[in-house]
Amino acid sequence: MTQHPVLPMTAISRRDLLRRGALAGVSIAGLGAIAGCGDSNSTAPASAASTTSAANAPLTGHLEFLNYPQWIGPHEVRDFERAHPGVTISQNNSAYTNSSSGVAVTVAQNPDQFDMLLADGAVSGQLLAGGFIAHFDFDRIPNISLVDPHIRKLYPFGVPTDFGKMGIGYRKDLVKPAPKSWADLWDMAPKYKGKIVAYNLDRDMFGPALKYLGYSANTHNVAQLQKAKHALIELKASIKAFKAVDIASELVHGQAVIAMTNDYDVALAQTQNKNIGWILPSEGTSGYLEGIAGVSRSKHLPEVEAFANFHLAPANYGSFVATTATSYTEPRIRSRLPKAIADSTTIGAFGLEKVEFEEFLGASTTQLITNLWEQVQAA
């Protein structure tokens, strides 16, 4: 197993994580309540003022951003380019395949190609171990102060932008009784055969399977992982399709009645159909905490930092959250969100004490999980 430096995050004990998660939950929801003031205008124009950083040199260059498809406000890139003529950004979605470590692989095998990427804890850990993560000068990213400090500690790799958790979205009118746990899902699956959609990503699916069996989502134990694989194969028989995006949208028109996917996905669907419910299963679940990190070999680190700062500016960050309906890391952004998202109990820090954020598990376990997921897909 490869040696990797002990990160603040891996040094945290599990109990610590849960405690901090609970605190984060309180602070996010609490602060949001305090700061909330009803006005949910999320289409406020980006203000150039929020992008000024300590940098004095004019920013210039081309940034290649490895990002999840459409995981950004609709006008952010355009507005950033306008505020900083001389900088262009292009987004690359090619890495998002059926393996969450695929992102790390894409960067590691071609480290000169990218300047920044969206990376969760596991991917960031993998890249850090390979020396591919850039060291941010946070003096140039003043907007980082808007991010909840507990979350900031959990994601030291760059600027944490969002987090999410796996759960069960379902049609309240078509699925009775409502599922309350992963065990319920596995039990009721045959009854709704062909009407269940799930996520096509190895760790996001293995997390719930491991929780279903009572194991940790970050386990290294091969026997446990094999059992999880078998559980997934069992579930596969009832699944309509494994999709990479727009999973919960199938619930909107009833093409599927159960969706095993992330919270933001269901939250977005809930804005289109009031009959969609969400459950964070009782056994607990896996989740991810991600953000924008710089690639160490980038020649445009100041520009990357400027963009990170820009992204965190309330107007831009608000448009990002409004577009993606993701759980957010800036507590005060709630006032800018459309009501449906601001009031959602699906996203946000609810139940965070039951969420295990994914960590980097070392090279061999990471590969193993990807291979096991392939076997599920091939079964």
Partner 1 sequence: MKRPSGLAVFTGLVLLFLFAPIIVVVLNAFNSNNTLDSFGGFTGRWFSQAFSDSSVRSALWVSVRVALVSTALSLIIAIPASLWARRAGRRARALLDGTTYMRIVLPEIVAAAGLFLLFRRVNFGLGIATIIAGHVVFTSAYATIIIQARVATLSISLEEAAADLGAVPWRAFRRVTLPMLRPAVIVAGLLVFTFSMDDVVSSAFLSGNTVTLPVLIFGLMRFHVTPEVNAIAAGVTVLTLVTFSLSAALLGLRTGASIVVGARPEEASS
Partner 2 sequence: MASGALAGGGVSRAGGWGARRRLAKGSLVLPAFGWTAVFFVIPLILLIAYSFGHIDIITFTVQWGWTTRSYSQVFQSLYLSAIGRSLLLSSGATVACLLAGFPVAYYISLQRGRRQLILLVAIIVPFWTSFLVRTYAMTNLLNAHWLGSGKLLDTPFAVGLGIFYTYLPLMVLPLYVALERIDPALRESAADLGAGGFSRLRRVIIPLAMPGIVAGCILVGVPSTGEYVIPSILGGGKVLMYGNVVADQFQSTGNYPFGAALAVSLMAALTVVVLAVRRASARREALA
Contact footprint for partner 2 (CB under 8 A): 2, 4, 95, 97-99, 101-102, 104-106, 108-109, 126, 129-131, 194, 200, 236, 239-244, 255, 363, 366-367, 370-371, 374-375, 377-379
Minimum gap (Å) between residue 81 Cβ and partner 2: 29
Q: Are strands 159-171 and 258-262 parallel, antiparallel or unpaired?
A: antiparallel
- Judged by CB under 8 A, the number of residues near partner 1 is 13
Binding flags for partner 1, 42-81, as an x/- string (CB under 8 A): ----------------------x----x------------
Tell me, rounded to whole angstroms, the distance of Cα 111 from its chain centroid: 22
Matching residue, tokens 């003043």: 142
Q: Does 93 bind partner 1 (CB under 8 A)?
A: yes
357 phi and psi angles, rounded to 5 deg: -75, 140
Contacts of 120 (CB under 8 A, 6+ apart): 100, 288, 289, 290, 357, 358
Output 41 or 70, the one with its CB closest to partner 1: 70
DSSP H helix total and E strand total for the chain = 15, 11
Q: Does 253 bind partner 1 (CB under 8 A)?
A: yes
Q: How far apart are CA 207 and CA 110, in angstroms?
A: 29
Output 321 or 361, the one with its CB closest to partner 2: 361
The two tokens of residue 329 are 């890391």
Quick one: what does residue 102 bind among partner 1, partner 2, none, with the CB cut-off 5 to 8 Å set by partner type? partner 2
Binding flags for partner 1, 102-131, as an x/- string (CB under 8 A): -------xx--x------------------
Q: Are strands 276-279 and 285-294 parallel, antiparallel or unpaired?
A: unpaired
Q: Does 90 bind partner 1 (CB under 8 A)?
A: yes
Q: How far apart are CA 131 and CA 214, in angstroms?
A: 34
Q: Does 246 bind partner 1 (CB under 8 A)?
A: yes
Q: Are 238 and 192 in contact (CB under 8 A)?
A: yes
The two tokens of residue 164 are 């999410």
Closest to 317 in 3D by CA, of 305, 303, 334: 334
- Choices 25-33, 41-49, 223-231, 245-253; region in contact with partner 1 by CB under 8 A: 245-253
The two tokens of residue 318 are 């608000």
Minimum gap (Å) between residue 235 Cβ and partner 1: 22
- Choices 242-250, 256-264, 315-323, 364-372; region in contact with partner 1 by CB under 8 A: 242-250
Residues that bind partner 1 (CB under 8 A): 64, 69, 90, 92-94, 109-110, 113, 244-246, 253
